[in-house]
Structure 1
Amino acid sequence: MRKFLSTNYSDGAFNFAMLLLRLSFGALLIVNHGIPHLMHFGYYAHNFYNLLGIGSRNSLLLVIFAEVFCSIFVVLGLFTRLTVIPPLIVMLVALFMVHAHQPFEKSELAVLYGTAFMAILFCGPGKISIDGMTRG
């Protein structure tokens, strides 16, 4: 019981926690947001939020890139700190621009995803990742 309540730092627990964080949030973003955006591209392309004034279609393409392709790299733990930045930016745009004037319930997921991706950015992927295995 004493070990369970201990506040001592454990490298193994940290690395496993980072694996869980990468797998859960990366996979959820792919499955629940990226793939639906990709599968229903024509529907979303007409009224998608126009990020950076580049048009709805191009904004959607950037979001799909972040939600699908970058998230795959995050799940694998490959180039993690670099590839977690686009999904983090998408979540910040969703939070502060798309859902800014809506009830908190609409932006709650963006806060959760953004917090998880920020933790991955700050802490790195952990040793249970391709980055961790190749960089020692």
Structure 2
Amino acid sequence: MDIFTINTLNHQPMKKLLSSLPINLDLGLLLIRLIIGILMACYGYQKLTHFEDTAAYFNEVNFLGMTGKVPLVLTIFAEFFCSLLLIAGLLSRLSLIPLLICMGYIVVVMDKMEIYTSGDHGVEIGHAFLYFVIYLALFFTGPGRYSVDAAVLKK
């Protein structure tokens, strides 16, 4: 090999880093699904294990005319059970619909469209808004190749 060939081989990793093409899209989608799913499932699990305590807070929540335990059960379904489906990549787009509705409701009604606020460390973005945007992106991209959906629907 001459010097030109060796030099050309060394620039391949740099070309990948500067490229707009994905290095491994499916692995990236898996990581996003796992991380966002686990974080949201923790919220739902907390509500599930402290159901009665959380129900007192939900008496103030009015979701489509329902108050009390009904909105709490719907929230637990979305945050915990739909997150578990998302982690597995099973019925991914269907499981994202309740999650999108839940986070959308929090952003619009509970947070009154305050997407960002001034905090101690500068501007802080609302968690529900971030979850909503990530869920929306996953809805459009799908779960990726490393999912139960992909394994079941494999042709």
- 1:112 matched to 2:112? The reply is no
- The correspondence for 2:143, drawn from 125, 129, 135, is 125
Question: Structure 1: which 5+ runs fail to align?
Answer: none
Structure whose residues are more often helix by fraction: 1
Letter in 2 for 1:131: D
- The correspondence for 2:84, drawn from 72, 75, 88, is 72
- 1:59 matched to 2:77? The reply is no
Q: Distance in 1 between matches of 2:25 and 2:86?
A: 17
- After the TM superposition, which parts of structure 1 deviate over 3 Å for at least 4 consecutive aligned residues? none
Contact 1:99 1:107 (C-alpha < 8 Å) held by counterparts = no
Asked which structure has the greater RCO (Cα within 8 Å, sep 6+), the reply is 1
Q: Distance in 2 between matches of 1:39 and 1:111?
A: 25
Q: How does the TM-score come out when normalised to structure 2?
A: 0.79
Structure whose residues are more often strand by fraction: 2
Q: Distance in 1 between matches of 2:145 and 2:93?
A: 13
Larger Rg: 2
CA shift, 1:16, in A, is 0.8
Determine the structure 2 residue equivalent to 1:23.
Answer: 34
- The correspondence for 1:43, drawn from 53, 68, 93, is 53
Using a 3 Å threshold, how does the CA distance of structure 1 residues 107 and 56 change in structure 2: closer, same or farther?
Answer: farther
Question: Structure 2: which 5+ runs fail to align?
Answer: 1-13, 118-123
Using a 3 Å threshold, how does the CA distance of structure 1 residues 107 and 44 change in structure 2: closer, same or farther?
Answer: farther
Q: Distance in 2 between matches of 1:127 and 1:47?
A: 40
CA shift, 1:39, in A, is 1.5
Determine the structure 1 residue equivalent to 2:15.
Answer: 2
State the identity %.
Answer: 35
Determine the structure 2 residue equivalent to 1:34.
Answer: 44
Provide the alpha-carbon RMSD of the alignment. Answer: 1.7
Letter in 2 for 1:45: A
1:97 alignment partner, SS class = helix
Q: Distance in 2 between matches of 1:94 and 1:107?
A: 13
